[in-house]
């Protein structure tokens, strides 16, 4: 006696297969030639072993000499990264063709001319090598970030603890690596990397953001930093901060336009603050208090704060009464 599923499974399969014929973006059957999210997150993890070889160990490679271990790891990254970059570039090209022409569904390599495929493969190899050449520069920036974390957080017992434990430092590390691929105009991969860090930490940094040295994220959860944000050096950002766009009603028309704020050097932004707009500039040496909402520029050396909220206490079911506040008190942040 057959089960209900056995009697009806083929009909369900045919119905699903037919649904792929709608010509919609979700109907794409190019999965084998699109970037592989799982492989890219694996590359991200392996990159940490190259950036911090004393802290992230790869037991796949068993060598007595650390240089041999690193060489094997870097070559492995190069092999997989080249393929994913190539797939991303091909996918971007095919997407453009689909937007402008009527093209039957099929594999990417069947749509693109052989000469164009060869050019993309060569381009992917060049980008891979250039990215690897930039890792020392990334490590230079991360070394300054590490110092900013250690100097700025009295709870940090050691630099080792920061590298191994702090979600903010992890998110910055992945961002700085992804940002180099973004600068090299690699589609999709940088965003996959930073969204992977986002899922791990709750910190959302778009790979297109520009962030200077000595960047410090404290606690980190809920931080959002938009694509066109520019951040100077020695900037501190606390949990729940949004550096976002003032409005996204324009949709795609806003692409490639400055939508997010500029934060100059030596600025501290405390928890829950929202700073919005591409024309908004926070001047150097300013302090932005907790839970403020800013949509216009702030001059240098400015302190922005919210006055004490009115607190009321209900003691032994008596009437709620306001608590007097001192004129000089301001509410900066909560940790």
Domain-embedded: residue 99:
yes
- Judge if 50 and 101 occupy the same domain: yes
DSSP H or E segment with residue 217: strand 216-218
Reported confidence tier of residue 238, pLDDT bands at 50, 70, 90: very high
Share of the chain above pLDDT 70, in %: 82
Residue 274 has phi, psi (to 5 degrees) of -120, 125
The confidence score (pLDDT) of residue 316 equals 65
- Judge if 334 and 289 occupy the same domain: yes
Using an 8 Å Cβ cutoff, are 265 and 233 in contact? yes
**How do residues 38-82 score in pLDDT, each as one tens digit?**
999 999 999 999 999 988 877 666 666 778 888 888 999 999 999
Residue 297 has phi, psi (to 5 degrees) of -70, 150
- Judge if 193 and 318 occupy the same domain: no
Residue 283 has phi, psi (to 5 degrees) of -65, 155
Q: Which domain holds residue 40?
A: 23-202
- Judge if 244 and 141 occupy the same domain: no
Instruction: State which of 202, 235, 260 marks the end of a domain.
Output: 202
Q: What is the mean pLDDT of the chain?
A: 87
The confidence score (pLDDT) of residue 335 equals 41
Q: What's the average model confidence in pLDDT over 231-250?
A: 90
Higher pLDDT, 294 or 30: 294
Domain-embedded: residue 84:
yes
The confidence score (pLDDT) of residue 83 equals 96
Instruction: State which of 167, 202, 237 marks the end of a domain.
Output: 202
How far apart CA 61 and CA 80 sit, in angstroms, is 16
Domain-embedded: residue 16:
no
The confidence score (pLDDT) of residue 198 equals 98
Which residue bears the tokens 């094997």?
A: 72
The confidence score (pLDDT) of residue 128 equals 97
Domain-embedded: residue 286:
yes
**How do residues 140-163 score in pLDDT, each as one tens digit?**
999 999 999 999 999 999 999 999
Residue 130 belongs to domain with CATH number: 1.10.3130.10
Residue 323 belongs to domain with CATH number: 2.160.10.10
pTM of the model: 0.85
- Judge if 222 and 172 occupy the same domain: no
How far apart CA 53 and CA 167 sit, in angstroms, is 18
């Amino acid at each position: 006696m057959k089960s209900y599923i056995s009697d009806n499974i083929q009909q369900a399969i045919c119905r699903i297969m037919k649904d792929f014929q709608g010509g919609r973006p979700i109907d794409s059957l190019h999965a084998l030639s699109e970037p592989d999210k799982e492989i890219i997150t694996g590359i991200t993890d392996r990159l940490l072993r190259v950036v911090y070889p004393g802290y992230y160990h790869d037991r796949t490679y068993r060598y007595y000499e650390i240089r041999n271990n690193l060489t094997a790891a870097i070559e492995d990254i190069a092999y997989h990264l080249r393929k994913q970059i190539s797939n991303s570039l091909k996918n971007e090209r095919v997407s453009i063709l689909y937007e402008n022409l009527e093209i039957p569904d099929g594999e990417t390599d069947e749509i693109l001319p052989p000469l164009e495929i060869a050019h993309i493969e060569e381009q992917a190899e060049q980008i891979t090598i250039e990215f690897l050449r930039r890792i020392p520069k990334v490590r230079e920036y991360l070394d300054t970030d590490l110092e900013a974390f250690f100097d700025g957080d009295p709870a940090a017992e050691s630099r080792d603890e920061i590298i191994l434990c702090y979600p903010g430092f992890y998110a910055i590390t992945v961002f700085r690596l992804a940002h180099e691929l973004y600068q090299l105009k690699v589609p999709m991969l940088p965003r996959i990397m930073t969204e992977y860090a986002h899922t791990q930490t709750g910190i959302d940094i778009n790979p297109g953001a520009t962030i200077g040295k000595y960047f410090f994220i404290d606690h980190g959860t809920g931080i959002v930093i938009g694509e066109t944000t520019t951040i100077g050096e020695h900037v501190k950002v606390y949990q729940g901060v949004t550096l976002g766009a003032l409005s996204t009603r324009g949709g795609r028309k806003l692409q490639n336009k400055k939508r997010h704020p500029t934060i100059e050097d030596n600025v501290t932004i405390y928890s829950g603050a929202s700073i919005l707009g591409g024309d908004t500039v926070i001047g150097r040496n300013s302090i932005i208090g907790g839970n403020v909402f800013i949509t216009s520029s702030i001059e240098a050396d400015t302190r922005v704060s919210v006055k004490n909220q009115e607190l009321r206490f209900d003691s032994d079911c008596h009437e709620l009464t306001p608590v007097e506040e001192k004129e000089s008190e301001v509410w900066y942040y909560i940790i």
